[in-house]
Structure 1
Amino acid sequence: MSLTILLLPPLLFLLVSLYQLRSIRSFATFALDRDSFGTLTIYCTILASGVGAGVIMGNAEKAYQGEWFYPLGCLGFALQLWVTARLAPRIYQWRNCLSSGEILSNVYGGKDIRFISGALWLIFCMGIVAAQVIAIQRVVTMLIPGRETPVAAFLIISVILYSSLGGIRSVVTTDVIQAVILLLSLIALTVWGIWFLGGIESTYQQLRVQNIQSSFTGQIPTLFIVFFGFLLGDALIPISIQRVTMARSHQEASKAMQLTAAVIFAVILLCGLIGLIANLLEPGQESQYTFNILLSALPFWLKLFVVSGLLAAIMSSCDSYLNTAAIAFSNDMLPAVTSPLSDRKQLMLGRIATLVIGTGAVIIALQVNDILDVLLGTFEAWGPTLLPPLFVALFYPRLPKLNFYLPCVAGLLTLFLWKWLAPDSIISTGGLLAGISGNMIFTALLLWKRKAE
């Protein structure tokens, strides 16, 4: 029965993608399918794409081991979505572009910039998908140990296939279903945990006994670093740009973003609470066993539901990054190095790129085992390079290439210097912020110089 419940949803998603395959006849439909999605649908797909392994499992595991500054810092991600909602009118003016690389090339000029933007985003996506692959295997192991490899392989292959066949339509359709499942499963797990511990008052008293607030003072600097890391690490990523530009209006996109920000705020706190509940149930274990502790105490039906919710969160993040990575390859990288492609050929190459990128992410996942290390590493491919130039592009219609290249080089050099010189204890998230700061300083200087002239 467990196996059937795990395998049935991806099989249904594959059938949906096969049904949608017939109606996708252009690359623009594969990439954006403009004006086909309303506020609620956009909200569901942003939520499902944003809440992945890092948000759910990462927050719970950090809270379990007492590092609850991480869930608090992760609230920066919710604030980032709210800021994106405020920028929706400016983003929407670029809705005729299929990718962020296309936006940057229009502002800064040149196919080289478009190629670099696409390549950096593709690297970012492969890292994110690799983290989700690691998480899928870990979640499947919780429910059916011993058979996790073939089952996890099937789940991963199904995500890659339906993303390749149905494009953004398959991604959005499955995201709506997965968003509902992951939200309900997290709420059910939290309610059950509080009930199992004797109710709200009993849980509160047990948390007070654990004295979880005692170590907070020394963690304030780390809290700020993590907060700004999540605020800036994947701000204005192509997935967010895509969700805004595929909406029917910037007003609908803004409402969807604000609603998602509020819900993700609650989800992050729920995940932190889930980690604390696991610590009360069985303290002293390795943090990677946080959900194993909870699942071992759950009744069978609720265990299946929670595992389905975890897999829904992971798979929905996976498909969105696969889709935008394929767009970056076909719409940004290929046009920069080849003669103009026919729409049909571009669509075919987009599908093939999805398969290749997914396979590459699986290979990366086989080499590492730490989800958070992979996520933080991938953030460094985006924030220190493309975030400030893309933000500036929302306010300036044309800028010289120097305004793109010099800040990007400065951001990367600052990142490398930080990794070389900074103490190991602050090297991870701090490097990301240092790189972004280096980029922002040169961006501001170049804009000031332009204004002075």
Structure 2
Amino acid sequence: MISFDAPLCILSAFLLLTLVVGIHFSRKKNTFRTYAVGNKQFATATLVATVLATAYSGGGLARNVEQVHELGLYWIIVSILGDLGLWVVGWLALRMGAFMHNLSMAETIGSIYGKCPRVIVALCSIGSSVTMVAMQVHVMASSIGICIHTVDPKLITVCSTLILIFYSSFGGIRTVVFTDVVQFMTFAVILPFFSWFIFMKLGKPFSEIFPLLQEQDTFQLSTIFHYDMNLIAMVALVLSILASYIDAPILHRVYMSSGPTQARNVFRYAVFFGICINMVICLIGLFIFIGAPEASAVKVWDYIMTDIPPVFKGLLSVSLLAMAMSTADSCLHSGAIAVGHDMLESIRGTKTYPYQLQLTRIASIFIGLFAMGLTFYYSNLLDLLKLNLGLYLPITVAPFILAVFGFRGTSHTVLIGMASGVLTILAWNKWVEPSTGIDGSFIAMAANGLTMVTVHYLLKIMRKYKLSCAKATNYL
């Protein structure tokens, strides 16, 4: 009886610990600025933990294990190189001294390019937050469902989501950060033990594993680095993953830092630990491939759940739940800031307004409830997530990078660039990706940036030409 209820006990203990930590840190009174970015006195180790907790989601764990099993070395290379996206953010952070007083990515873009681009980026942040939170809630439901059978998984999912909404809405970023630390420590400890368990389940020594992998085509370097469409698709996917780290929740950790130097150090450490976490996840996929090479990607988790002790079921459920909640609370917070700070400030035209903090909390609650509702009406949100990322990267990333590097265009320049990014990704997804399998997010982002720069200098040349014509007319 004890072993049968062990997963439920482990899961309940984790949720109770999260709730206690959330309540403890939500008691402190907040101004809107401290609610949004804290007091900017977080320790570097604390910021590293919250960056990793935000970047590595429950959906990412499940997807990486499945893709390593299906694609082998190809996906291992993609996922490891993709971790360098955190280094890219740290590299940008070192140049963000002029923007460290901002509260969001949208505010940074708005301070350079005006109100309309800021509103568009804020809308993208809100849409991305809703989708990402919904995806994580879906993962929470799946992880609970495969491990707990004595209680309705939907009930536990609702309870865990309400806990998530409570502490992230009322406690602000301080509560999100310290619950992220707890959740990061949870999955960072569990994943290596779970990898060891899957290895022991194989019953084979390491000396037999690598020769078996060398016999498989999916683990041959010559197959991966042969110049063909697959290699181009891999490069395009890696570039898209690198750019995907330049999003509102991750950049929010830059604004929480005391300065550019601390932010650079935070992301430098995060790259190292992130690669370690990803290597452990890839090992899980490798061990499962050795144990069940013929299994399809959708059957990977069925293999994991076969003959697994109840305690390990509970630990796996808690690990997935910790990774999902730590990503969801960060997305929930950044979405609420986009509503209460960027959207309403742009509409009102004032820096502060009455009840700003209360409205932001209400926005956080509604984003969380709406995301939770989506999971009950849509069983598969993967296509929606791909669409969201395909539109988010082409619209927001290029203007932000150009702003950080000193490009100062007009609002019209940015709007034209954003439109070109959207048109490029739509055309690419319709005519190019179906036949080549190449992801077009990075290409659309590059089209956005190139269009902005081209239009900016063309307009400058046209203005000089008109001015010279006017002077010549006056002279005559």
Do both proteins adopt the same fold according to a TM-score greater than 0.5, normalized to the shorter chain?
A: yes
Please say if 1:136 is aligned against 2:140: yes
The one-letter code matched in structure 2 to 1:396 is G
- CA distance in 2 between counterparts of 1:223 and 1:443 reads 27
Matches within 5 A, 1:368-383: 368-370=378-380, 372-383=382-393
- CA distance in 2 between counterparts of 1:157 and 1:105 reads 33
In structure 2, the CA distance between the partners of 1:7 and 1:394, relative to structure 1 (3 Å rule), is same
Contact 1:128 1:374 in 2 (8 A): no
Please say if 1:393 is aligned against 2:403: yes
CA deviations over 1:143-186 (Å, ceiling 9, x no partner): 01472221122112211221111111111001111111112222
The one-letter code matched in structure 1 to 2:162 is I
Q: What displacement does 1:278 show?
A: 1.5
Question: Which residue does 2:27 correspond to in 1?
Answer: 22
Q: What displacement does 1:447 show?
A: 5.0
- Give secondary structure in 2 for the equivalent of 1:176: helix
Question: Which residue does 1:154 correspond to in 2?
Answer: 159
Matches within 5 A, 1:167-182: 167-182=172-187
Contact 1:122 1:329 in 2 (8 A): yes
Question: Which residue does 1:229 correspond to in 2?
Answer: 240
- Measured on the aligned residues, the alpha-carbon RMSD in Å equals 2.4
Contact 1:326 1:353 in 2 (8 A): yes
CA deviations over 1:168-216 (Å, ceiling 9, x no partner): 1111001111111112222112222233332321322332344532553
Q: What displacement does 1:277 show?
A: 1.4
CA deviations over 1:75-118 (Å, ceiling 9, x no partner): 34311111111222222431211111111111012x32222221
Question: Which residue does 1:43 correspond to in 2?
Answer: 48
- CA distance in 1 between counterparts of 2:189 and 2:347 reads 46
Matches within 5 A, 1:325-404: 325-338=335-348, 340=350, 345-370=355-380, 372-396=382-406, 398-404=408-414
- CA distance in 1 between counterparts of 2:385 and 2:296 reads 20
In structure 2, the CA distance between the partners of 1:210 and 1:420, relative to structure 1 (3 Å rule), is closer
Question: Which residue does 1:66 correspond to in 2?
Answer: 71
Please say if 1:77 is aligned against 2:82: yes
* 2:169 counterpart (164, 175, 182): 164
Question: Which residue does 1:408 correspond to in 2?
Answer: 418
In structure 2, the CA distance between the partners of 1:314 and 1:208, relative to structure 1 (3 Å rule), is same
In structure 2, the CA distance between the partners of 1:44 and 1:8, relative to structure 1 (3 Å rule), is same
In structure 2, the CA distance between the partners of 1:367 and 1:64, relative to structure 1 (3 Å rule), is farther
Structure 2 runs not aligned, ≥5 long: 1-5, 465-476
In structure 2, the CA distance between the partners of 1:439 and 1:313, relative to structure 1 (3 Å rule), is same
In structure 2, the CA distance between the partners of 1:358 and 1:425, relative to structure 1 (3 Å rule), is farther
Contact 2:22 2:179 in 1 (8 A): no
CA deviations over 1:259-285 (Å, ceiling 9, x no partner): 111222232232222122112223433
- Give secondary structure in 2 for the equivalent of 1:422: helix
Q: What displacement does 1:368 show?
A: 3.6
Give the total of aligned pairs: 450
Please say if 1:277 is aligned against 2:282: no
CA deviations over 1:323-360 (Å, ceiling 9, x no partner): 00000010011122236485661111111111111122
The one-letter code matched in structure 1 to 2:310 is F
Contact 1:13 1:170 in 2 (8 A): no
- CA distance in 2 between counterparts of 1:138 and 1:283 reads 24
Contact 2:198 2:284 in 1 (8 A): yes
Question: Which residue does 2:446 correspond to in 1?
Answer: 437
- CA distance in 1 between counterparts of 2:400 and 2:218 reads 40
Question: Which residue does 2:321 correspond to in 1?
Answer: 311
In structure 2, the CA distance between the partners of 1:371 and 1:293, relative to structure 1 (3 Å rule), is farther
- Give secondary structure in 1 for the equivalent of 2:409: coil
CA deviations over 1:35-91 (Å, ceiling 9, x no partner): 231110010000000000343111111112235423422234311111111222222
* 2:131 counterpart (121, 127, 133): 127
Contact 1:10 1:159 in 2 (8 A): no
Q: What displacement does 1:139 show?
A: 0.9
Please say if 1:183 is aligned against 2:188: yes
- Give secondary structure in 2 for the equivalent of 1:212: helix
Structure 1 runs not aligned, ≥5 long: none
Q: What displacement does 1:423 show?
A: 4.8
CA deviations over 1:210-268 (Å, ceiling 9, x no partner): 45325534632332222112012x23212232211211232222111011112222322
Contact 2:191 2:280 in 1 (8 A): yes
- Give secondary structure in 1 for the equivalent of 2:395: coil
- CA distance in 1 between counterparts of 2:19 and 2:353 reads 24
- CA distance in 1 between counterparts of 2:237 and 2:392 reads 16
The one-letter code matched in structure 2 to 1:137 is A
In structure 2, the CA distance between the partners of 1:411 and 1:211, relative to structure 1 (3 Å rule), is closer
Q: Using structure 1 for the length normalisation, give the TM-score.
A: 0.92
Contact 2:10 2:315 in 1 (8 A): no
**Which of the pair has more CA radius of gyration?**
2
* 2:207 counterpart (201, 225, 238): 201
In structure 2, the CA distance between the partners of 1:298 and 1:204, relative to structure 1 (3 Å rule), is farther
Contact 2:78 2:234 in 1 (8 A): yes
- CA distance in 2 between counterparts of 1:69 and 1:171 reads 35
- Give secondary structure in 1 for the equivalent of 2:99: coil
- CA distance in 1 between counterparts of 2:97 and 2:248 reads 13
Q: Which moved more, 1:418-427 or 1:94-103?
A: 418-427
Q: What displacement does 1:451 show?
A: 7.8
- CA distance in 2 between counterparts of 1:195 and 1:318 reads 32
